Amino acid sequence: MKKIICSLVIAFIGFNAVAQNSNRTLLTIGNEEVSVDDFLSIYNKNRAVGEDLDPKTLDEYVDLFVNFKLKVKEAEALGMDTVPSFIKELAGYRKQLANPYLVDNEAGEQLVVEAYDRLKYEIKASHILITVAADASSSDTLKAYKKITKLRTEIVKGADFAAYAKQYSQDPSAKENAGSLGYFSAMYMVYPFENAAYTTNIGDVSGIVRTRFGYHILKVIDKRLSRGEVRTAHIMVKYPKPSGQNSEAEVAIAQQKANEIYAKLVSENADFDEMAKQYSDDKNNASKGGVLPWFGTNRMVESFENAAFALVNKGDITAPIETPYGWHIIKLVDKKGLGSFEDEKSELKKKIEKDSRAQVKRTSLVNKLKKEYDYKEYKSAVNELKKIVNSDFIAGRWSLDDNSSSLTKTVISIGDKIYTQEIFAAYLMKSVRKMKSKKSSSTLVDEVFTTWSEDMVIAFENTNLENKYNEFRLLMQEYRDGILLYELTDTKIWSKAVKDTTGLKEFYAANKQNYMWDTRVDAKIVNCLNENIACKVYNKLRKGKTDLTKLQAKVNKKSSLNMDVKEGVYLKGDNSDVDQVEWVVGVSDLIHDNENVKVVYITEVLEPQVKALSEAKGLITSDYQDALEKAWLAELSAKYDVEISNYVIDLVKNNNLAELDIVEEPVTPSYKGHFVRAFGKAKRTLGSSKDIVFNWYGNLYTTELKKD
């Protein structure tokens, strides 16, 4: 007996075996289960917002959904989801749908708020630029950085910023403007430069800023509330020569002309638009009354801009204002400030997508994903690759195939996926050749690695979207099924109904009674200029002179308006004149229509008859398509098993889906008596498995039997 007991591996389970009984399957088609959650997501999407759930509508939608899924199931059976054109089309849709998920939208919202808050103010600043190309060598980059650092140190200690800008700045305009940029607002400068401008106090010098142009330092001169935007019109008296090349006499002549125009506007109340058309030298807009597009700060030369913003009321004009280009008289057309956040939000989002700050959303997402997926870098493996990046590598004389066996070390890991040196080397080869940079090989590899590793993190997230975001999974499923449904329905129904002329004729022949004309009349409606003419026409028709063409030619000798004839075959409701007369062959009484008088002449009453195929082809084709679809659905219903859980549907109708989440303790079979006999009985009854459990005097055991 001991030997028998010892041959049993008795696995005691030290827990209460509790399992969930939460089957959320609403329906099964073939071998595919559709959960009630997925179904309701689609159903609610197609239901009007706020509309109460109608049990009848729900039943109808279940039927429609089943038919939809039957067609999709057939498309899959035919392999339509493996066709290259389908795969390509679905991939295109997926790329568009994935884009919003592959940026940090929270960071994006913060950027919009930040831009809006900054647009409330304008910064006046000067800068010094030391240029350095984005692909400059490490030595050139370091040289530029040291130079800008030295300048900043000396300025902070008291050197004059404007003088240094004139002497050292490599911005070509600095020698003229001492580095002054005037006032500007958000979205005007590149993002790193804007950040420095808005985060530096008035009177202070910023830290060193790197942009695509090189290294900058800024001095913030002033900060003021935004002036918004204005729309103006102007009359321009242009200088004959470029700025700075005009003589005093030429300047005086232009000024005198501008003064004369201004005098006419003020003293004689001349029309500004007309004066602009006649006298303005700005030919781009003179014909439009001199009207210019909307502009804000730093969009026009300073003197023009300041004069325009100084105008208060619509229609106000300035005295002649001089700019480097000539003299201007400016009229205020309209003025507007910054709109509310909601008003500006959409446009700001578009601008941010095109702005360098869009990279912030991507970088923010990458950093979050690295934490989420336990991202790891193996720098030693990357450093090994740096040794192979030489002239042969860059020129393409280095073979990845010949070296792949030695490139097996992991460079990064994301979640449970590893990326080897070989994978990175393949990317590196393409990237380094395209860059044609003067930087050292080590710097190049580091830069390419940063870009590549970020791309891999985004790509990893991309492949995981369906699992991570249920709404994305459902949307992709919807697009996928929709494409399959369209292609197959077009083949089986729509195109077939159009191309299958024999089938269409047979359907028409079998269903002619459904395409009947109601009673119609063949009638001529004679419209006469007055009652006198109408009486003449009426009498002629009554006497049997029914050739209206001859009659019209005679009546219209003096005027073509005397008599007009329209004829056709009419149903009830087609024509109000025909509707109000008795439908018998012959001429009607006179019908007064304002000053005109009409006569309806019915030549034939057409009794109900079958429409010819050509007369109702559109309707017949549509009905034929419906018949084809009905027959096809019957065929599919017979081909694929469909099971619908009425229990789950009733829960939906009664708004009681919570019942599906009730956890029930399963009933565990109990056995008594000697353990060996109880075990044997449980094994014979339930089967032998480590997953089958039975109860023996309050303790739980499996029925698994292992041999020595």
Confidence of residue 3 (pLDDT cuts 50, 70, 90): very low
The per-residue pLDDT for 374 is: 94
CA triplet 340, 341, 345: central angle to 5 degrees?
A: 125
Q: Could you tell me if residue 623 is inside a domain?
A: no
Same domain, 237 and 332: yes
Give the pLDDT confidence score for residue 568 in this predicted structure. Answer: 96
Total domain count for the chain?
Answer: 5
Q: Are both 240 and 204 inside the same structural domain?
A: no
Look at residues 607, 629, 656 and tell me which one is the last residue of a structural domain. Answer: 607
Residue 57 in any domain: the answer is no
What is the spatial distance between Cα 51 and Cα 260, in angstroms, rounded to a whole number? 69
Tell me, yes or no, whether 87 lies in a domain.
no
CB-based contacts of 22, cutoff 8 Å, min separation 6:
660, 661, 662, 663
Would 449 be classed as within a structural domain? yes
Q: Is residue 233 domain-shared with residue 331, that is, in the same domain? A: yes
In sequence order, the β-bridge partners of residue 223 are 123
- Same domain for 257 and 215, yes or no, is no
Q: Which residues of 290-325 are buried (b: 16+ CB within 10 A; e: fewer)?
A: bbbeebbbbebbeebbebbbebeeeeebbebbbbeb
In this prediction, residue 357 carries a pLDDT of 87
Average pLDDT over residues 54-64: 83
Same-domain status, 210 and 280: no
Indicate whether 302 pLDDT > 70.
yes
CATH number at residue 263: 3.10.50.40
Give the residue from 181, 201, 225 where a domain finishes: 225
Report how far residue 337's alpha carbon sits from residue 226's, in angstroms, rounded to the nearest whole number. Answer: 8
* Proportion of the chain above pLDDT 70, given as a percent: 92
Pairing of strands 520-528, 642-644: unpaired
Domain interval for residue 426: 373-465
Please give the pLDDT value at position 8: 31
Q: Rounded mean pLDDT of 5-29?
A: 47
105-119 vs 358-372: helix crossing angle, rounded to 10: 150
Res 293: pLDDT: 95
What pLDDT does 700 receive?
A: 85
Q: Mark whether 437 and 528 lie in a shared domain.
A: no
Domain membership flag for residue 281? yes
Cβ-count burial of 83 within 10 angstroms (0-12 exposed, 13-18 middle, 19+ buried)?
middle
Q: How confident is the model at residue 180 (pLDDT cuts 50, 70, 90)?
A: very high
**215 and 257 share one domain:** no
Tokens of residue 143, six digits? 């040289």
Question: What confidence tier does 474 reach under pLDDT thresholds 50, 70, 90?
Answer: very high
Residue 156, pLDDT score: 96
Residues 142, 163 within the same domain: yes
At residue 527, the pLDDT reads 95
Is the residue at 108 inside a domain? no
The pLDDT of 546-571, averaged and rounded, is: 93
**Structural domain contains residue 470:** no
Q: Within this chain, do residues 153 and 218 fall inside the same structural domain, yes or no?
A: yes
Give pLDDT, residue 105.
Answer: 87
Report the pLDDT value the prediction gives residue 23, as an integer from 0 to 100: 74
Q: Which of 337, 354, 386 represents a domain boundary (last residue)? A: 337
Question: Average pLDDT for residues 244-256, to the nearest whole number?
Answer: 94
In what helix (H) or strand (E) does residue 526 lie, and over which residues does it extend?
Answer: strand 520-528
1-10, 448-457, 509-518, 676-685: least confident range: 1-10
Q: Give the pLDDT score at 1.
A: 34
| 248 shares a domain with 207 | no
Query: Do residues 217 and 249 both lie within one domain?
Result: no
Among 24-38, 378-392, 527-541, the least confident range: 378-392
| Angle of CA points 277, 279, 282, to nearest 5° | 75
Mean pLDDT computed over every residue of the chain: 89
Q: Could you say which DSSP state residue 48 is in?
A: P
CA–CA dist 668, 647 (Å, integer): 25
Q: Indicate if the pLDDT at residue 48 is higher than 70.
A: no
pLDDT at 314: 96
pLDDT of residue 396: 66
Q: Are residues 234 and 329 in the same domain?
A: yes
Specify if 365 maps to a domain. Answer: no
What does the pLDDT look like over 638-650, one tens digit per residue? Answer: 999 999 999 999 9
Instruction: Please say whether the beta carbons of 662 and 654 come within 8 A.
Output: no
pLDDT digits (tens, 9 = 90+) for 281-298: 999 999 999 999 999 999
